[in-house]
Amino acid sequence: MPIISIDQKTCNKCGICALECPRRIIVLPDGSFPQVVAELEATCNACGHCVAVCPRGSLSHRDSPLKSSPKMEKGLVVNPEQVEQFLKGRRSARVFKDRPVSREIITRLIEDARYAPTGHNLQEVEWLVIDDKKELARIEELGIEWLEWVIKNLPKVAADSNLEEKLERQKLKHDAFLRGAPVLIVAHANKSSLASLAGIDSANALSYLDLAANSLGLSTCWAGYVYIMANTFPPVKEALALPEDHAAYGCMMLGYNKFKYHRIPCRKEPKIIWR
């Protein structure tokens, strides 16, 4: 069975699908309808471009069927000014409300995030969501153990990062790592699946989730220390309990921000090399 099917009643043989196909596996023989080059079929990475680009909705792909590919709504397209404020207005939250985030909302965010680009369309990013207060508190406690370990075994690293001060603050108030966020989201993937791509793909997916959260009145902050511990400190690895062959490629706090932002702060001017 071919991987694409064509509705010959509506297809006008424009050839856009063939021109758009990244792998050039779709061809348009003279006077005929689009078809897949049989010997190249196995190279298709199911990106769905052919389905998305067809202006008449005449093409369906085995892994991206037309019925599961909703039409783009023209009324939902945002203008450049909206995009500019949306992106520039995004902030990293560090003061969260003591308010849970429903799993329905988190699922919606992950649904959006799965549309982030992935290398070779691998779609290898998987998710761990921790919204249990006891488990989150446990990670904060393990953070103290990690700080003590680094200070003892890597004194230069500890000094350069001022970790002794962080340890004292963490002992006084156990929320320096997660900032009291009610949710921790970990993007993870198989360690053997092109690790160099997995890290980029996970960052892309978390960035999508980050921006989508903002649209729902939620805020985020990248949990860099948790990410480091997740990959270097056995007690945290054990606490996260990811699949044995997986690694964490990004961690993010999620919750309702306690405050609202009213202005866009300055940023450094971009350094651009033109050629």
Domain ranges of the chain: 4-68, 82-255
- Which residues make Cβ contacts (< 8 Å) with residue 219, sequence separation at least 6? 91, 92, 93, 96, 213, 254, 255, 256, 257
Q: Is 2 left (phi over 0), alpha (psi -120 to 50) or beta?
A: beta
Q: Quick one: pLDDT at residue 222?
A: 97
Q: Quick one: pLDDT at residue 173?
A: 79
CA separation for the pair 254, 179 (Å, rounded): 10
Check residue 116 and report its DSSP letter.
S
- Give me 269's structure tokens: 């001017």
Q: Quick one: pLDDT at residue 171?
A: 86
55-79: per-residue pLDDT in tens?
A: 999 999 999 999 999 999 999 999 9
205-254: per-residue pLDDT in tens?
A: 999 999 999 999 999 999 999 999 999 999 999 999 999 999 999 999 99
Q: Quick one: pLDDT at residue 53?
A: 97
Q: Quick one: pLDDT at residue 191?
A: 87
E strand or H helix at 251, and its extent? strand 246-255
**Cβ atoms within 10 A of the Cβ of 1, count?**
4
Q: How far lies 225's CA from each of 71, 181, 244, in Å?
A: 41, 14, 21
CA separation for the pair 134, 140 (Å, rounded): 10
Q: What is the CATH number of domain 82-255?
A: 3.40.109.10
pLDDT category of residue 199 using cuts at 50, 70 and 90: very high
Assess whether pLDDT exceeds 80 at residue 174.
no
Mean pLDDT calculated for residue range 90-103: 96
Percent of the chain at pLDDT > 90 equals 91
Q: Which of 16, 42, 40, 46 is nearest to 28 (CA)?
A: 16
Q: Quick one: pLDDT at residue 78?
A: 93
Q: Quick one: pLDDT at residue 195?
A: 57
- Which residues make Cβ contacts (< 8 Å) with residue 1, sequence separation at least 6? 62
Q: Quick one: pLDDT at residue 175?
A: 75
Q: Quick one: pLDDT at residue 112?
A: 97
CA separation for the pair 126, 114 (Å, rounded): 9
From the options 3.40.50.300, 3.40.50.2300, 3.30.70.20, 3.40.50.10440, give the CATH code of 4-68: 3.30.70.20
Mean pLDDT calculated for residue range 82-106: 96
Strand 219-222: give its sheet, edge to edge.
126-130, 183-190, 246-255, 219-222
